[in-house]
Copies of this chain bind each other. A is one copy, B any other.
């Protein structure tokens, strides 16, 4: 370690926190394709979307020209309780790796939800409250989104109904209890509280449920109650918009110390964290002002960017949500049961899909054992026990740093550390016991998923 003028952790002052979210679409020449109504196959209108989502959120979803959206003061006040999140200089990791690279990570795990999900949950809860709603419904798999939404709803006094995939409900009782402690109503899905749930239970007695089924139940439950709307924790453009607070804070902190990253790395599931982190940097690139290398890291078991197609597809297994043009493996694709639940989504946010298709971003896929190896190495020197999802970014950051060691380059590497792994110790136990295995989907499995993509016009709106 040489001079150490840069502190281990850079915190912005409260007064330096972003007051606006940034909408990358405003600077994109090729805009992402519009959402389609699954019944008419025509672009969704604000009115159509508003029957499912909150009005202001629909506006944010559809607006591709406004570059900056003001963050309402109430949301900024909530942000102040757990933000700014630290931008950390990984001095100890650098020393361990003996690399000339300079490694930074933006750590989003310092809040009770344990991840960046809270950034959008509080925004969505705020707009629901402002619209005069009684409550919101949602689904949750691993539980981080459900936890974040429960916290946000508790803060604004909104009812929160969470459909939790049954196997998670049973395997992660502690996640469930955190949500209950925040006053949420948590139902294992499929349940007999909805038509679709009863139907699935009848067809598949004893099923463990799926995210697709939980989404369908949550959407139905929102529609069946007056004053309720459905909310979602990733994939949508509105969510990515809220998550730009991550990148905006990061860029402000780096600018303060005259740091310019060469490589920016994020794990990629639905894309909200990755998109949020890279947004202001990508904006510079889109406007031709600066250049960066962006790398999306996805699990080998769910390689939507690296092995998927860029076409219109259903966003959910139940096919009740709008169609989206995105990199997808097909809404029926069933990823192997790896431990990064937050990355097991068949598609990718439409903005990121377009940027990737236009060559603005690279993508790589990695196996879970190498991810946990990187996670453990990171934890032992940097202290933080990372979530399996976040550890995908760690793995590639370490790889990039080791390349620098070979070449002698002093690259500045930035990655997003989206959350902590406190509720993932079952996965760590499998790794510690040497029982974790990798799986590479065969070409046939990928082809089978892709064959489920609907045959609809892919261009021309």
Contact = CB atoms under 8 A, between A and B. Distances in A.
A11 interface: yes
A100 to B, nearest CB: 20
Contacts of A428: 177-178, 180-181
A155 B93 CA distance: 11
A97 interface: no
Nearest to A420: B112
Interface string A377-413: 0011111110000000000000000000000000000
B383 A177 contact: no
A88 to B, nearest CB: 8
Q: How many copies of the polypeptide does the oligomer hold? A: 2
A180 B432 contact: yes
A71 interface: no
Interface residues of A, number: 46
Given A80-B8, A80-B9, A112 B379 contact: yes
A429 interface: yes
A257 interface: no
A68 interface: no
Interface string A78-105: 1011100000100110000000000000
Contact of A425 (B151, B173, B382): B173
A174 interface: yes
Contacts of A204: none
A423 interface: yes
Interface string A175-213: 001101111000000000000000000000000000000
A369 interface: no
A154 interface: yes
B383 A181 contact: no
Interface of A: 7-9, 11, 13-14, 77-78, 80-82, 88, 91-92, 110-112, 114, 151, 154-155, 173-174, 177-178, 180-183, 376, 379-385, 420, 422-423, 425-426, 428-429, 431-432
